[in-house]
Amino acid sequence: MLGRFGTIILLVVWIWQVACVAPTEGAEVDWSRCTVWVHVEDMRSLVVYQAHRLALGQRRGHRPGRRRRIRRFRRRRRRQRAVVWQRLKPVLEELVREETVRAASVLVETEMGRISSYRLPMQVVVVTPDYNQVTCPDCGGATRCKRSYYSHPQDIDLERPTILQVYREVRECCGESCQWSQSPELDFVAKGERFTKRAKQKAIASVSEDGMPLGRVPQRMWRDFHVRVAKSTVFEWVHAEAETDLGEAEYTQWVQARFSGVVGLDEVHLRDEHGKKQYLVVAVDPINDRTILFDLIDSRDSDAIKGFLEQLKEMGIDPWVVVTDMWKAYHSALLDVFPEAEHQLCVFHVIQAMMKHTNKAILTYRRALPKETKAQKAVRKELWDGRYLLLKAQHKLSDPQRQRLEEILDAHQDTVIPRACQCKEAILALFRESEDKEDARARRDAILERFAGVPELKKVLNVIRGDDFEQMIVYLDYENLDKTNNDAERENRVYQKGEKVRYRARKTHTRLNYVRLRARQRNHRSAERNDHLRRRKKRRKAFTGRVDAVVEREAGRLTA
């Protein structure tokens, strides 16, 4: 227990603490709590309570805080790092002393068995180039070593992590009047780089050739080549490679010399970083598998397409045939820029339009069918489930599918269903089996005459009716001209992948870099191809004329 003097002191301190809580104007203070303590509780219990409260306050003030614990933890971590460095330092010093052997491979295993991050074997290759043959590029005189240092870039290896210890020198000219001083360039690593050139090329090829997302390249580099690289570093490498200027004049001359005479045009819809619409227009050479030109435009009207075609004309590209889809802006722009070029419409888009109108005719007939009884509903369901058989080419059907199609046609005789199926097959055969333009025109006229009395197929027949039909059969005059624009469509699908988040090509400049890198890789792959558009020889008429001459000669001989 406290003494009498101590009790009095604590009591005075407590009274002073209570008295310090003076009421202010406009504030209500609850004094009932203090009054209850004084009149109800025993004085000794009150003194013990206040003494315990003051002791807790003093103890809390001297208790170490959070900052002190953080400082203690940091000091402990620094001591642990110092211990690790003291154990690793002799190993590294011994490695440096063994540098006398040029291009020697040393397998270094640390003795830190209890530290898991240092247990992987590491290969250090010492490279000491010969700088004595370096001459001054300004005056051509001899050079001497000004200072030397070491660089340690990472290199690829299939077995273990590899680091090159490259001896570098800063050379200066021996001439008194020449102030040239520089570190010579090496063919396998650039100055100040932490990775060799072939390691960078492996990472870039993973994106440009393999189509790998940027986020997976670091994993692949460590798994296959034991190179630690960050995703941001790969991003910088890829876009730096794309922005490298290979010479616009040389590229234009190269394209002109290897141009086949055919240009495929196609556009794809994109959005920039602000959500604004953009269109990536690509011009390809489908015969030589080459990308000629690409650009981002704000609209797809005839004026924007005309500006893109003028860029092609400035490059010296004068095509014989231009292959596009059925967008009307291409036709008007081609008449203004390349009036002498033939315009081939993509047959795939023509068949797509024909299939759309055929499907609408079938669905219109199905909606008109009654559906009161279960049997009528079953007929409607059977027609709905088997509508893909009516649109699919019959030569691609299997035997069960062909049998089911015959059942559907038998169930809907004397309706638009058999007529629509026959019209579809006739149009497909027109583009698949025609030998020349005369044969295609004859087939077209026969189709229009045969199905002219079917009003449900009017829009289907309008696809091949009119002057646009001549632009659909341009490919029949050439041997190696494709009737579709699949080459440009395929490339645009590849370029459109850059818009996805994992490829990090959402902004305008990053998207252009992605397309530029892919186009450059494609052109490099087909650099040796130099084919040209070839017209088809009219062998059919010549052969028929020779046969008629032989028949007449034999007939005359027999008559004589």
- Report the alpha-carbon distance of residue 247 to residue 520 in Å, rounded: 12
Q: Collapse the DSSP code of 165 into the 3-class scheme (helix H, G, I; strand E, B; otherwise coil) and give the result.
A: strand
Q: Which two tokens stand for residue 505?
A: 């090509």
Q: Shortest CA distance to 153 belongs to which of 144, 143, 162, 142?
A: 162
Domain layout of the chain by residue ranges: 1-16+38-50, 99-194, 204-242, 248-346+484-525, 348-477
Mean pLDDT, residues 368-383 taken together = 88
Closest CA to 308 of 320, 324, 326, 296: 296
Confidence band for 554, pLDDT divided at 50, 70 and 90: low
Stretch among 39-53, 308-322, 462-476 having the lowest mean pLDDT: 39-53
Model pLDDT, residue 263: 92
Phi/psi-derived region of residue 504, left when phi > 0, alpha when psi is between -120 and 50, beta in every other case: left
Rg of the chain on CA atoms, in Å:
42
Lowest mean pLDDT among 8-12, 20-24, 284-288, 493-497: 20-24
The answer to whether the beta carbons of residues 427 and 450 sit under 8 Å apart is no
Residues 226-246 have pLDDT tens digits of 999 999 999 899 888 888 766
Q: How many CB atoms lie within 10 A of CB 481?
A: 23
Question: Exposed, middle or buried by CB within 10 Å (0-12, 13-18, 19+), for 155?
Answer: buried
Nearest to 366 by CA among 400, 408, 403: 408
pLDDT at 104: 37
Q: What is the pLDDT of residue 54?
A: 53
- Give the residue-averaged pLDDT of 196-220: 89
- Would you place residue 51 in the very low, low, confident or very high pLDDT band (cuts 50, 70, 90)? low
- The answer to whether the beta carbons of residues 464 and 430 sit under 8 Å apart is yes
C-beta neighbour count of 261 within 10 angstroms: 18
CB neighbour class for 192 (10 Å; exposed up to 12, middle 13-18, buried from 19): exposed
List b or e across 355-385, with b for residues whose CB sees 16 or more CB atoms inside 10 angstroms: bebbbebbeebbeeeeeeeeeeeebeeebee
Among 387, 394, 317, 324, residue whose Cα is nearest residue 356: 387
The answer on pLDDT for 498 being more than 70 is no
From the centroid of its chain, how far is CA 221?
19
The residue ranking higher by pLDDT, 10 or 156, is 156
Q: How far are the Cα atoms of 104, 135, 170, 172, 423 from residue 131, in angstroms, in the given order?
A: 19, 9, 9, 11, 79
* Spatial distance between the Cα atoms of 172 and 179, rounded to a whole number of angstroms: 7
SS3 content of the chain, % helix, strand, coil (to 5): 55, 15, 30
Assessment of whether the complete model's pTM goes beyond 0.85: no
Q: Identify which has the larger pLDDT, 272 or 382.
A: 382
533 pLDDT above the threshold of 60: yes
- At the second CATH level, the architecture of 248-346+484-525 is 2-Layer Sandwich (3.30)
pLDDT at 19 over 50: no
Residues contacting residue 119 through CB under 8 Å, at least 6 positions apart: 110, 112, 113
